[in-house]
């Protein structure tokens, strides 16, 4: 009789409307009906991503979108700068190496944010770098980077700005065009509230210019091929995961009804309530600059960091994410994106507190939810010491 | 009040059990539950593909699987032979060119089957070719190639045999191991009865040896990365479209209950019934060697080949596929794969005949369904003059 609550930063909970859309009998995708749906979805995503430029839909995980961004814009042997501040940022480096690029790795300790001043130094030290690769919300550490400031630094240079917003897009403030982001990659299974299977890439005009001039190391991920299919009623070069696109159309209705700026503010409120609850338990946030879509929490001393989320899941059905790579057992992570709401957050804080109490950790049952409730009740923007 | 019947050779109809599985709330994919499901699915696919070797699951369309097959086994500059007998076979050539391979194109007129004797000549003329690329069921023309004979020719050579069985796998007889197929690519939205979004690649031991020796032109499609994740409870390097995998587990239950050999025989019976109905209308098959999963029919003279399937869809809700590329308006195509059954075939033949009659073509209403019924009623293997 355990009720399951998915509180991981991807996959996230999928709204019922989208799930029912996926239960419908499959239709064909080379039809005027599909083109209408696809046009509607692509137009809707532009608002979510705050761009007026093209959005390309790929049937792949988010990593496929990152590969598309790099393999179409940077020829073999050329130099890129990777702002490596977590496990997902490392993926840019891995892709760069796979395609024979020269990678300048700017390694930032996990949990810290990228300093835009460092980016300015790096771009001036490496004027021949053709791309700067960053993450928006680094899901592995719960950090959000200051992409507005990074974009201001990269904008005037010749380098393109490539941003992995796989988990951030649609939940964390992101003004793609205003912030000079040339290629923004977003995944389906995060704030867009879908199952995994789609990646989206927003492509600036400057990026298209570069793409035209570069021999792509790509076939399935050749962005020009996708671009050609956008004209005259958008279509796709390869069979798309069109049942996910139909489900996305459902989710976009809800996203647009609320408005993207309101969604960003809601996520921030949930994040701050989460922070307040965490601090009320005497725990510490892991991120120096906490993201609005996911909160990473240090496992307190004396508590088994692998057992904690497992016990929370077994006892309450609440699925949290643990730490990855060297952070395994060191942190746990709580998502606040998509349809995760205030009750989910209050309930999750209760569950964490209850299990910590059972594990003998010094907490006072009720304080976490109370602290979070006070933040959620406050009419004005709450002040939280993070 | 139009009842829709999808009769296209992909996407195909999805069984209710699979659709309901996709309507379930999403769960996390880094769990023991997912590993159990994934192990079950991969094991089940081995039987469907008639292989004892590894099956790799990619989140992409079938074309992504074809790219994976080539980009991992053939280094830039090396030579491949492509048996080009239709639109989908051409994709091997396109991928080869995208990755800088030398492509020996064996162009076969559309509608004809590859002659295994030609393959023998080509492999002896090009002993340096490292791969022979074929299609099993060429969906664009309705032809099935003699992969048993082609495999017998390629087997003793140093070349790997790469087969696009995207639409054929699971419906057309295909004995991957026995026929020396080294890389078999199958799509989700055909005989496996899922929405699009997954591609599967069965990889022989010889192919793994080659893969180890070759620098892949791949990151997302790097098969070695996927291989490493199969050990110790199978997992995936990138977030998989796991709701489709859950739906596949449902479909595999039905596939195994019937048995793959019985499914092949059932498709053959439906194909022959379709052929009989088509001939009863005085129409001609397009394929020289008709496939069991799809029937391509020549549009008769005097009939508008673009209007015909449109009218059938508007009048009866039956969705057929038209011709592609230069076959546009020249042929139409009827699928018989997955859960398409005898009633679907009889109904489809009725609908075609009724619309031809309306369009003034000389048919005798009832004869098509009657001819197909006689084939379906016959206890023994029917003899059809094709």
Give the pLDDT confidence score for residue B1 in this predicted structure.
Answer: 83
pLDDT of amino acid B386: 47
Tell me B92's DSSP state: H
Phi, psi of A140 (to 5 degrees): -75, -20
Encode pLDDT of A206-222 as tens digits: 999 999 999 999 999 99
To the nearest 10°, report the CA torsion of B210, B213, B214, B215.
Answer: 150
Average pLDDT over residues B301-314: 98
Nearest-by-Cβ selection for B14 from A25, A221, A241 = A25
Q: Which of B188, B128, B137 is nearest to B158 (CA)?
A: B128
| Paired sense of beta strands B198-203 and B54-59, if any | antiparallel
**Would you state the pLDDT for residue A381?**
55
Chain A CB contacts of B217 under 8 Å are 99, 217
Are the Cβ atoms of A61 and B238 closer than 8 angstroms? Answer: yes
Q: Do B98 and A222 touch (CB under 8 A)?
A: yes
Assign A301 a pLDDT band (cuts: 50, 70, 90).
very high
Chain A residues with CB under 8 Å of B239 CB are: 10-11, 61-63, 187, 189, 196
Distance, C-alpha B23 to centroid of its chain: 26
Q: Give the pLDDT score at A158.
A: 97
pLDDT exceeds cutoff 60 at B208: yes
Please state the rounded mean pLDDT for residues B350-369.
98
Most B CBs within 10 Å, among A59, A91, A240, A318, to test the B interface = A59
Please tell me the predicted confidence (pLDDT) of residue B232: 81
- Give the predicted TM-score (pTM) of the model: 0.96
Mean pLDDT, rounded, for A111-133: 98
Q: Are residues B220 and A19, on separate chains, in Cβ contact within 8 Å? A: no
Mean pLDDT of chain B: 96
CB atoms < 10 A from the CB of B347, how many?
18
Q: Per-residue pLDDT for B382 more than 90? A: no
pLDDT tens per residue across span B21-64: 999 999 999 999 999 999 999 999 999 999 999 999 999 999 99
B367: tokens are 């004869």
Share of chain A above pLDDT 90, in %: 97
Mean pLDDT score, B295-308? 98
Domain-wise residue ranges, chain B: 16-257, 260-377
Alpha-carbon distance values, A374 to A272, A381, B54, B70 (Å): 11, 12, 55, 58
Tens digits of residue pLDDT in A69-91: 999 999 999 999 999 999 999 99
Q: What is the mean pLDDT of chain A?
A: 96
User: Which chain A residues touch B196 with a CB distance below 8 Å?
Assistant: 29, 59, 239-243
Contact A286, A112 (CB under 8 A): no
Mutate to test the interface with B, among A96, A243, A306, A332 (most CBs of B within 10 A): A243
- Separation in Å, CA of B257 to nearest CA in chain A: 23
Provide the pLDDT for residue B262.
Answer: 97
A39-68 pLDDT, tens digit each: 999 999 999 999 999 999 999 999 999 999
A-B contacts (CB, under 8 Å): 165
| A280 phi/psi in degrees, rounded to 5 | -65, -25
Residue A382 banded pLDDT, cuts 50, 70, 90: very low
Q: Which CATH class is domain B16-257?
A: alpha beta
Categorize the per-residue pLDDT at A1 as very low, low, confident or very high, splitting at 50, 70 and 90. Answer: confident
Min Cα distance A288 → chain B (Å) is 27
Do the first three CATH levels of B16-257 and B260-377 match, i.e. the same topology? no
- Burial class for A274, CB neighbours closer than 10 Å (0-12, 13-18, 19+): buried
Q: Find the CB nearest B60 among A28, A59, A217.
A: A59
Report the pLDDT value the prediction gives residue B191, as an integer from 0 to 100: 98
DSSP A224-276: HHHHHTTSSS---SS---HHHHHHHHHHHHHHHHH-HHHHHHHHHHHHHHHHH
The residue with greater pLDDT, A331 or A381, is A331
Torsion angles phi and psi, residue B245, rounded to 5: -65, -35
Residue A375: Cβ within 10 Å count? 22
Is B338 in contact with B193 (CB distance < 8 Å)? Answer: yes
Q: Which CATH class, in words, describes the domain spanning B260-377?
A: alpha beta
Give pLDDT, residue B381: 55
Q: Which residues of B touch A13 (CB under 8 A)?
A: 25-26
The answer on pLDDT for B317 being more than 70 is yes
């Amino acid at each position: 009789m355990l009720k399951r609550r998915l509180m991981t930063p991807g996959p996230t909970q999928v709204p019922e409307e989208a799930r029912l859309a996926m239960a419908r009998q499959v239709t064909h995708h080379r039809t005027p009906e599909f083109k209408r749906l696809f046009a509607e979805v692509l137009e809707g995503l532009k608002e979510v991503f705050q761009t007026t430029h093209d959005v390309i839909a790929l049937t792949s995980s988010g990593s496929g979108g990152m590969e598309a961004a790099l393999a179409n814009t940077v020829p073999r042997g050329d130099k890129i700068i990777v702002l490596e501040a977590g496990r997902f940022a490392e993926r840019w480096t891995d892709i760069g190496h796979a395609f024979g690029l020269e990678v300048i790795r700017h390694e930032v300790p996990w949990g810290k944010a990228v300093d835009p001043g460092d980016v300015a130094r790096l771009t001036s030290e490496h004027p021949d770098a053709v791309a700067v690769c960053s993450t928006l919300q680094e899901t592995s550490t719960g950090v959000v980077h200051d992409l507005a400031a990074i974009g201001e630094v990269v904008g005037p240079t010749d380098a393109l700005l490539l941003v992995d917003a796989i988990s951030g897009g649609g939940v964390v403030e992101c003004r793609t065009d205003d912030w000079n982001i040339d290629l923004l990659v977003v995944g389906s299974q995060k704030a867009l509230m879908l199952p995994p299977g789609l990646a989206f890439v927003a492509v600036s005009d400057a990026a298209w210019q570069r793409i035209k001039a570069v021999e792509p190391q790509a076939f399935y991920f050749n962005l020009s091929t996708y671009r050609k299919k956008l004209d005259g009623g958008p279509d796709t070069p390869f069979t798309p995961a069109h049942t996910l696109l139909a489900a996305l159309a459902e989710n976009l209705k809800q996203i647009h009804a609320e408005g993207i700026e309101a969604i960003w503010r809601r996520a921030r409120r949930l994040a701050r309530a989460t922070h307040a609850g965490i601090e009320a338990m005497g725990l510490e946030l892991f991120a120096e600059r906490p993201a609005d879509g996911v909160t990473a929490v240090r496992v307190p001393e004396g508590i088994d960091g692998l057992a904690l989320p497992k016990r929370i899941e077994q006892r309450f059905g609440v699925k949290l994410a643990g730490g990855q790579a060297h952070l395994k057992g060191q942190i746990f992570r709580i998502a606040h994106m998509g349809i995760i709401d205030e009750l989910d957050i209050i309930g999750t804080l209760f569950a964490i507190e209850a299990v910590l109490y059972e594990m003998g950790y010094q907490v006072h049952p009720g304080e976490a939810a109370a602290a979070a409730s006070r933040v959620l009740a406050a009419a004005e923007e709450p002040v939280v010491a993070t």
